[in-house]
Amino acid sequence: MGYKVLSGLAAGLLLPLRHRWPRLAVLLCMPAMAGGLGWAAILVAMFRLGRVRPKPPELAGWVLLTCVVAVAPVLITQSLTPGSILLTLAFVVLSAGAPAVLGLLVALREQLAESLQRLADAGEVVAQAKAEMAKSEERARIAREIHDAVGHHVTLIAVESAALGASSGEASVREAATRVRGLAKQALEEMRTTLGLSSSTAEAEAKTITDLVGQARASGVDVELTGELEHHEVPGAVERAAYRVVQEALTNASKHAPGAGVRVDLSNRADALRIVVTNDAPDAEPITELTGGAGLEGLSERIRMAGGELDAGPSEDGGFRLVALLPQDS
């Protein structure tokens, strides 16, 4: 085999180097260009060189070097007319420059597509952020309206209770008025905390289930509490959920079974907290003015989101039984 064939085969075999070292691949194809059979390899190598997006002066330098290596042997070995020389130069410049420019355009197109994709992704993120901001603003507006409407009436209850206690001469009336005023203030504070409008960073002054049972007893509800939460062992989220469970159960017992005895049993297991609240059959008619709520549904959803279970329904003796299981890792 002659030099032309050997150099052309070598250039073809060395082309895989263009993926890692495109400039080296162009240099290794130069001997084949001088032999006259390196055009196929140099076209591929120059296209790859354009894909790595070198600076325009550098790319022009590689095109010029390729043209010199390709044209010099022809000018040395052959006698060409000026017109033939110009045509040869034009052909070589076009042949060497076209694949390099095409590779550069492909690389720019890919970069533009990536930029457009990032822009689209950024637009989606901005749209989601705006939607979340709108939701937050709407929640804040609703929270303020609830606070203004309900808070107004709860405040009036507290004021009227204070006025009743101050004007009454009976100790039992003053005691009941003071208790109603305290419950109204606590309800207002809990509402503010739930709606995120409380000035304190903590969730209302932490009330325990024992305090809750004490308030119910002071209101005339016959409540028996067995078991106690160990605060250093029970996670805060579990403790708050347990508080709401007992609170809702006592509220329902007061509304639907007035005069009935209520039993609250707390069982703090290793894996879960079990709360059982039962009440006897009612001794009087339910307080119809306070019925129609959706407390159990909301409580069930809250416990489900915490990974627990809630079972509530009538008991065999005509009362009501509520059982809640709250996992300790919630």
Amino acid present at 194: T
Q: Which two tokens stand for residue 42?
A: 């140099």
Tally: H helices and E strands in the chain: 9, 5
Q: Can you tell me the distance from the alpha carbon of 139 to that of 144, in angstroms, rounded to the nearest whole number? A: 9
Q: Can you tell me the distance from the alpha carbon of 256 to that of 313, in angstroms, rounded to the nearest whole number? A: 13
pLDDT digits (tens, 9 = 90+) for 256-295: 888 888 999 998 877 788 899 999 888 766 655 445 555 6
* 5 vs 115, residue with greater confidence: 115
Nearest Cα residue to 214 out of 151, 264, 256, 276: 264
Q: Are 185 and 158 in contact (CB under 8 A)?
A: yes
Nearest Cα residue to 295 out of 328, 319, 322: 322
> pTM of the full predicted structure?
0.45
Q: Which two tokens stand for residue 111?
A: 């970069």
pLDDT digits (tens, 9 = 90+) for 301-314: 778 877 888 898 88
292 backbone dihedrals φ, ψ, rounded to 5°: 100, 10
What number of CA atoms fall less than 13 Å from residue 262's CA on the CB side?
27
146 backbone dihedrals φ, ψ, rounded to 5°: -65, -45
